[in-house]
Amino acid sequence: MKNTLLYIVVVVSFLITSCADKDSRVTGVTILPREVELEVGQSIELTAIVTPENATEKTVYWFTDDFRSVTVDDNGRITRVTNEWFWYGYVTIYAITKEGGYVATCRVYLSE
């Protein structure tokens, strides 16, 4: 009887711990706004929303696919930095979660 009770306690503890760990793991990321327009010298801060809300590890790494046109800092602040005629068009900003490697993008239109 004691062994059965101990087994039940261990199993229930394991299940509770497993469910708690699963709920706190990152399942995705979104960037807001998803599209912006920037002129030379303009800046805007993007927001990375990591899901679920109760995720334990919410670290996000920011990247740009064209650092000559748009820079991005560790907080998601993007800045248009060049006025070259051939740098008009679109740049993509990426937010990648540390846990799980989930990716979200923001399309930045480079206006004149």
Q: Going from the N-terminus, what domains does the chain have, and what CATH number goes with each?
A: 2-110 (2.60.40.1080)
Tell me the per-residue pLDDT of 25-75, one tens digit each, with 9 for 90 and over.
999 999 999 999 999 999 999 999 999 999 999 999 999 999 989 999 999
Confidence of residue 3 (pLDDT cuts 50, 70, 90): very low
Q: What pLDDT is attached to residue 4?
A: 46
Can you list the positions of beta strands (E) in the chain?
Answer: 28-32, 35-38, 43-45, 47-51, 60-64, 70-72, 77-80, 89-97, 103-110
What is the value of pTM for the model shown?
0.77
